[in-house]
Chains A and B, each alone.
Chain A
Amino acid sequence: MSSSRIAAALLLSLTLSWGGADAWASVRFRDAAAELGIDFVHRHGGTGELYMIETMGSGVVALDYDGDGDDDLLFVQSGELPIEGSGGPGGVLYRNDGSSGFVNVTAAAELTLDVYGMGGTAGDVDGDGDLDLYVTAYGSNRLLLNDGDGSFTDATEAAGVGDPSWGASASFADVEPDGDLDLYVTNYVDFSFDNNPPCGLKERGLRSYCHPDVYDGLPDRFYRNRGDGTFEDATAEAGFGAAAGKGLGVVFGDLDRDGAIDLYVANDMTANYLFRNRGDGTFEEIALMTGVAFSDRGDAEAGMGIALGDIDDNGFPDLLVTHLDQQTNAVYSNTGTGLFVDRRYPTQIAEPSYQKVGFGIGLGDFDQDGYIDVAIANGHIIHNVDEWGATGRFRQPNQILRNRGDGTFEEVAESGLDIVLSSRGLAIADLDGDGDLDLAISNSADRAEVYRNVSTEPGGWLELSVIGTRAQLGTRFEVHAGERRQSRELRASSSYMSQNSAAAHFGLGSAPRVESILVIWPDGSRRLLKDLPAGRHVRVGR
């Protein structure tokens, strides 16, 4: 080969590499919890009896509770075991004060959570323009109404949403739609302090937390918002009566793009549920036939966290579900025909998860190259698994899987997620207001992690949010920039007992401008915005 032909070949390869996702530098995060003022430490109150509830919590919620345009953080706390009394305190709220970081405002916000907390979700339940909170717990869950002055009032009893069993993830959506937010709560298993058999490797004297198989699943709850500050338990009436799996993860989203919000529930070692909204607020369970109940091998897996987003750009949101080690995390690719195909191996998302126990999971374009990446919070359930003699570890590294832009993902080796603890909840939001996506991660019986995104040479970005809170959840944005068309849907809880920012973040790659933004409101009406510059937060009103 002549030197000119070699040069030509090199040039061609360079040109090709610049044309794809490879153009963008590696994703990089930096631990910034102390710098941002987040000092949350999860406590489970364990005394050595190894109650299963100790190892399952807890979640983290990104929400703009004070309406100042940036995301605050609620870390759900487990606290004292509710053997006698209610346990808790169930959460710590941090207000985002912009450049000066976060401030613990739990007391100021009168956030009296006397519960053994698990997860949380936020939404404007009473339609008064600010975000309210729902916190799940082992014991009665809590609804905290935002008073609009920086404080919250417990309205659980009046609203009738204090399900007393072991709540895990919960989420809000307007499923009818009638203009107010309804609530779905997953319940896990029928553990009780009186029903706590010794589990683990008995012959080696290693007692551990029990496997969920030891217990029966609990029925989930669906609460329909009456619009007057109260809810009715419409579980059976709405079609959720058979939902008695061991629910840990939940997400609302319009999976079949028919304009009605559907629901997916990840269950632990029992079949997952996909509830299709018939359009009138009643649902039918279709997971088995659509292919999202089990792995493509037919196994029920330990479903924990869920992420929902269009990772293959076909216009339909795909489902990613985290699992136990050896099971691998699932990618249920939405074909747009009402069917899903398990593509965990073709996407190369399975392989990096073989030795990880995945909990929280979120989607975001961290390097802003126009392709959605994946963040996963990992950690084992068994506190003494390191002593079992095999390769399982209680503390496990968290992971960033970068979208190569060709339908496959690769684990980012030097992501900067350097703190190795046993992680549970994960939320994604632009916490430092610099336009890229940061991470908040809660850990079992340990300090929380907050990471700033410090990726080098990221692409351009655009962040879209909705003015006001009433029409927020369920709104979809379709952005056309350069050669790329991307979509995002605003939703409440996903991940594991957690909630991401209610703003939609788009990576734009090298596109200097956004040609168009189509806003599709929850009621189906649309609005078209044209020709916006990159690098802006845009708030869209109706």
Chain B
Amino acid sequence: MIERSVATLLALLAVAPLAAELRELPLPLLDNLEATVREQLETERQAVDEAIVGFRAGSVDAARMAEGYGSIGRLYYLNDFTDAAEASFLNAIELAPSTFDWRYYLGALYPVTGRLEDAAHHLAAALELRPDYVPALIRLGRVELDLGQVDQAIARFEAVLAIDPDAAAAFKGLGRAAFENGEFQQAIELFERALEIQPEANLIYYQLGLAYRELGDRERALENLKLNRHQDVRLDDPLVNNLYLIVRSAKLHFNSAIDFLEQDRPELAIEQLLLAIEKQPGQFTYHHNLAAAYGLSGREDEAIAEYRKVLELNPAYPNAHFNLAMLLVERDQVAEAARHLELAHRYDPEDLVAHTEWATALSRLGEPERAAAELGKVLEQDPTYGKALLNLATVQAQIGRTTAAEVTLAELIEGDGNDQERAAAYYRLGKIHEQRQAGERAIAAYRAAVELDDELAEAHSSLAVLLARRSGFAEAAGHFGRAVELEPDDLASHFGRALALVLAESYVEARAALEASVEAHPGDLPLVHLLARLLATAPDAAARDGRRALELAQQVFAQRQTLEHAETIAMALAEAGRFEEAASWQRDILTRARQQGVAGPLASLERRLAQYERGEPVRAPWRG
């Protein structure tokens, strides 16, 4: 007994000095917290308080006590109880100085309270324990930048790049450091690299603009400074992200999900929203955001199902009706979409967007007169609403009231709308002129459209087609090219660009354009065929390549056996110097043409046969 008491006393003596250095944990006011969160914090706190008693009595060892402090510290940290979190982490560190997590959390907590020196101290100490934890390096680098310790910050960011050469946050940090050092050109390159890796991190554009400003490049400075910005560079931080998995707060999961949605990370948002819903199933806003997250991650079936759940919980929620309708429209389920749009409009009569979309759906359902009437109501509320004017003009044109459509479009063009809306109005006006065979007026309208909005792809392609019809091939090629830039999957514009260049006799440019198009769309036979034809017959030697022409022509012919495709093989054989084979192909083509009763091209087929027999290749890729 005496021995045991002495042992206890010795144990107490051993821990007493340490315990004395531990901070008392503040008791945060929990009254207004969510019930589940309050309960979680109270339970954890009670466990820590009991452990403290045990620790002082020697029945709880330092490692367990540290774990207890660290765990409650994480909960305080998540719930923004910074004083209590700080005391908890400091105690955890005191008891377990070699545990990375507690130092790291403390280092991450301090900047929120403005204690940058303390943050730097603890993040540096954490990195001694785990030098390769990238988020710690990034956080420390940022803190050092704010403290004006630029050289140290550079070292941190470079250490990150040694671990992860594509860390956008490190490039942004290095860009800021270069800016601080007055190395503005370097800053620009680093910011641009960060944007290349994370294009969605659009806050960088502002700093990019400031760097251009310092270099005196006013135009590029303004161009970047003016861009819309909301998202910072993403920092993947498993230690902080995983914290959200331990909390019982639906609200925190929801907040975390919103953060992830803002960072364009819908899958992570989905995880958090599912946890939020598990804790608070009846909250329709959670379901609504989950539906949005499913939509953003391409899981449309789940998005639609989730929107339906939202409407079960809150049948009068206009946003859910609207969003569900938009998904249904994409699936051509226009009738159901129209019903939801009508409800979205009913529950929020001031939502002109929903009203306009409803009208548009009606017109797609074959009710243009009703659509026009609803659009008229929208315009009564806001006579300048561009989309309603545009859609009304479309409906008017649909029902043959083209003059009325023109008047509507003129209203939009002459109004205070933005350039994009006015461009769209000019485009639709161009279509009306085209229907009326008024080509010149259509061209003028399309030109006006692209001048106002250089990103209106369909106006570029429509203009290009009309220009090409009037032999303005070079200009047409330019507009087809712009359409391709804007809509890289628009195969018609790819083809149009190449053909216009060929017809403009810009054979080398045509070859380059076609090579790029074929590389992007290797399975598109018309593009491959046109390239083969050009490589075989271009008058400019720099654009020809007989061997490759033959290869491509055979590839096409294997899939599409027509006279035209067979003839390209003959042309390629001739270009490759294989005239006898070319002549033999050509004879075969002529025979088949005669058998099929094809009369029109016989003369040119015969002319080319004669050329091959004379040992002459074809030098007219399209008009020969």
Q: Which residues of A contact B (CB under 8 A)?
A: 201, 203-206, 288-289, 291, 293-294, 296-299, 326, 328, 339, 345-346, 350-355, 386-391
Return B130 CB to nearest CB of chain A, in Å.
27
The interface residues of chain B lying within 8 Å CB-to-CB of A350 are 114, 146
Q: Which residues of A contact B497 (CB under 8 A)?
A: none
- Are A387 and B31 touching (Cβ within 8 A)? yes
**Interface presence of B347 (CB below 8 A):** no
Bound together, the chains give a CA A288 to CA B229 distance in angstroms of 13
**A411 (CB) vs chain B CBs: closest residue:** B114
Query: Roughly how many angstroms separate A57 CA and B32 CA in the complex, as a whole number?
Result: 27
Q: How far apart sit A288 and B218, CA to CA, in the bound complex (Å)?
A: 11
Given contacts A389-B33, A391-B82, contact A289 B251 (CB under 8 A): no
CA distance A328 to B33 in the complex (A): 27
Binding site for A on B (CB under 8 A): 28-34, 79-83, 111-116, 145-148, 203, 205-207, 210, 213-214, 218, 221-222, 225-226, 229, 232, 251, 283
**Which A residues lie within 8 Å of B203 (CB)?**
297-299
Residues of A within 8 A of B114 (CB): 328, 350-355
Chain A residues with CB under 8 Å of B283's CB are 203
Known A288-B226, A289-B218: A389·B207 in contact at CB below 8 Å: no
* Alpha-carbon distance between A353 and B213 when the two chains are bound, in angstroms: 28
Given contacts A204-B34, A326-B112, A354-B112, 10 further A-B contacts (CB under 8 A): A203-B34, A288-B222, A288-B225, A298-B206, A345-B147, A350-B114, A354-B114, A387-B31, A389-B32, A391-B82
Contact status A389-B226, CB under 8 Å: no
Q: Which residues of A contact B145 (CB under 8 A)?
A: 345
Nearest 9 A/B pairs, CB to CB: A298-B206, A354-B114, A390-B80, A345-B146, A351-B114, A387-B32, A298-B203, A391-B82, A389-B33
**Across the interface, do A297 and B207 meet the contact criterion of CB distance under 8 Å?**
yes
Instruction: Known A298-B229, A352-B114; judge A346-B148 contact (CB<8 A).
Output: yes
Secondary structure of the A contact surface, majority rule: loop
CA distance A328 to B225 in the complex (A): 21
Residues of A within 8 A of B82 (CB): 390-391
Residues of chain A within 8 A of B206, CB atoms compared: 294, 296-298
> With A389-B33, A391-B81 in contact, is A291–B210 under 8 Å at CB?
yes
Q: Which residues of B contact A293 (CB under 8 A)?
A: 225
Query: Cα distance A118–B172 when bound, in Å?
Result: 42
Whole-angstrom distance between the alpha carbons of A389 and B147 in the complex?
30
Q: Which residue of B has the minimal Cβ distance to A390?
A: B80
Contacts of A294 in B (CB 8 A): 206
Query: Can you pick out 26 interface pairs between chain A and chain B where the beta carbons lie within 8 Å of each other?
Result: A201-B32, A203-B251, A204-B33, A206-B32, A288-B222, A289-B213, A289-B218, A293-B225, A297-B206, A298-B205, A298-B206, A298-B229, A299-B203, A339-B214, A345-B145, A345-B147, A346-B148, A350-B114, A350-B146, A353-B114, A389-B28, A389-B80, A389-B81, A390-B79, A391-B80, A391-B82
Chain A residues lying within 8 Å of B33, measured Cβ to Cβ, are: 204, 389
Closest residue of chain B to A294, judged by CB? B206
Q: Which residues of B contact A391 (CB under 8 A)?
A: 80-83, 113
> Which B residues touch A339, using CB under 8 A?
213-214
Docked CA distance A289–B213 (Å): 7
Please state if A296 and B83 are interface contacts (CB–CB under 8 Å).
Answer: no
CB neighbours (8 Å) of B225 from chain A are 288-289, 293
**A389 & B79 in contact (Cβ 8 Å cutoff):** yes
Are A389 and B218 also in contact (CB < 8 A) when A296-B210, A298-B203, A354-B114 are?
Answer: no
Q: With the chains together, A326 CA to B29 CA distance in Å?
A: 21
- Chain B residues within an 8 Å CB radius of A288: 222, 225-226
Give every chain B residue within 8 A of A387 (Cβ-Cβ). 29, 31-32
Q: Cβ of B221: which chain A residues have Cβ within 8 Å of it?
A: 289
B523 vs chain A, min Cβ distance (A): 43
- Contact partner of B113 among A206, A298, A355, CB < 8 A? A355
